[in-house]
Amino acid sequence: MKGSKIKKLGEVLALEYGKPLPKEDRDDNGTYPAFGANGVLCRTNRYCHDKPSFIVGRKGSAGEINLTPEKFWPLDVTYYVTFDPTKYDLMFLFHAFKFLNLPALAKGVKPGINRNDVYDLSFAFPPLPEQRRIVAILDEAFAGLEAMRANAEMNLQNSRDLFDSHLQSVFNQHDKRWGKHPLVSLCKLFVDSAHRTPKYQDEGIPALRPRDVVNGKLNLVGAQRVSEVEYEIQSKRHKPSPGDIVYSRELSYGWAALLPKSPRVCLSQGMCLFRPASKLDAAFLLYVLNGSIGREQAARAAVGAAHPHINLGDIKSYSIPLPPLEEQRKATRQFDELSEETQRLASLYERKLAALEALKNSLLHQAFTGNL
């Protein structure tokens, strides 16, 4: 960059420690934002700093950066940046921090960033007019990218909404003719997980937790594992079999997934399992549970603000539509076709979002390597 001088960040700015904010000073309708490590955590009528700045996550979401143009309160899991505005432009420093990828500096079991590690980073700082020229180019480019990102996200959501809308219209169209029944009456097996936390180990049989059932699909990447002995203990009441449906009733509650032929699994806490009777097609039931009918019932049944969960009795009483078996299978084939098209569109829009993020990073790289 023209006229640039290499300086350590510690020569240019200071990372000041955030401060605790007493509970009595937190107000949902407060005038000023109070920042945690990954954004606004609450509001308050007090402020700690009265100049535009940006906040850096110190613990937890370490290295995350949030810009604020107003008076604010930085909480004690953050740093906030102070600098000489006659020499350095706020947005130039903000973009520079994005380019430096501070999360990579985080260390420890509970990730944290030592400000001395940030201070030791070297960077090329051009004169203030050149900083502002670069910021103007980036701001214009990022505004265009943000518009494209918002459009891609809207299209992604629309594709998902279209699928949900189609499911709902099919169920509404036949609601009276099909009738509804309690879920438990349509299953030949309905069991809760063992009420104990398994003894986990590095290798072995997956022990399903609520987080392992994502948007109606099993995701065993990062799943906890148990030994053969522990598997037998956890599965004493029933060994899960291919074709059984597992259902999450805690945390990310209300998602159902079908068990495949492999691998073997057992249930950890917060899960339940049921096996549809012969008059209910398992694939049809999955669409009901993971669609608006099931999700709305899950939302109504959930209790506990600190630890949201659904009681087993409420899951058993879910109201499930029951068309003749052949109609279930016909509807499932239609749902499968639409789901495949929805997933194709979703994949397309997700690739667009990834490409936009890569382009944004490329612009930052050009800006701070003198090529902009």
**Euclidean distance between CA atoms 367 and 1, whole angstroms:** 8
pLDDT of residue 2: 64
Q: What DSSP assignment string belongs to 216-284?
A: TEE--TT-EEE-HHHHHHHTSS----TT-EEEE-BSS-S-EEE--SSS--EE-TTEEEEEE-TTS-HHH
Max CA distance (Å), the chain? 77
- The average pLDDT across 205-209 equals 92
Q: Which domains does the chain have, with CATH numbers?
A: 5-126 (3.90.220.20), 127-174+323-372 (1.10.287), 177-322 (3.90.220.20)
Residue 54 has pLDDT above 70, yes or no: yes
- The average pLDDT across 298-314 equals 89
Asked if 77 and 57 count as a contact pair (C-beta separation under 8 A), the reply is yes
Residue 221 has pLDDT above 80, yes or no: yes
| pTM of the model as a whole | 0.61
Dihedral in degrees, nearest 10, Cα atoms 286, 290, 296, 298: 80
pLDDT of residue 151: 82
State how beta strands 73-74 and 32-36 pair: parallel
- The average pLDDT across 246-263 equals 90
pLDDT of residue 128: 93
Dihedral in degrees, nearest 10, Cα atoms 180, 184, 188, 189: 150
Summarised one tens digit per residue, pLDDT across range 23-53 is 999 998 999 999 999 899 999 999 999 999 9
Q: Kindly state the percentage of the chain with pLDDT values over 70.
A: 98
Q: What DSSP assignment string belongs to 186-206?
A: GEEEEEEPPSS----BSSSEE
**Euclidean distance between CA atoms 228 and 338, whole angstroms:** 40
pLDDT of residue 1: 59
Provide the token pair at 65.
Answer: 């950066």
Residue 60 has pLDDT above 90, yes or no: no
pLDDT of residue 106: 87
Summarised one tens digit per residue, pLDDT across range 316-325 is 999 999 999 9
pLDDT of residue 372: 63
Residue with tokens 């699928």: 163
Out of 93-107, 281-295, 351-365, least confident range: 351-365
pLDDT of residue 304: 85
Edge to edge, what strands does the sheet with 266-267 contain? 224-226, 205-208, 266-267
Average pLDDT, the chain: 88
First-to-last C-alpha distance (Å) of the chain:
9
- The average pLDDT across 58-78 equals 92
pLDDT of residue 305: 75
Out of 69-73, 82-86, 169-173, least confident range: 169-173
pLDDT of residue 364: 78
**Euclidean distance between CA atoms 295 and 286, whole angstroms:** 11
**Euclidean distance between CA atoms 148 and 142, whole angstroms:** 10
pLDDT of residue 360: 79
Residue 20 has pLDDT above 70, yes or no: yes
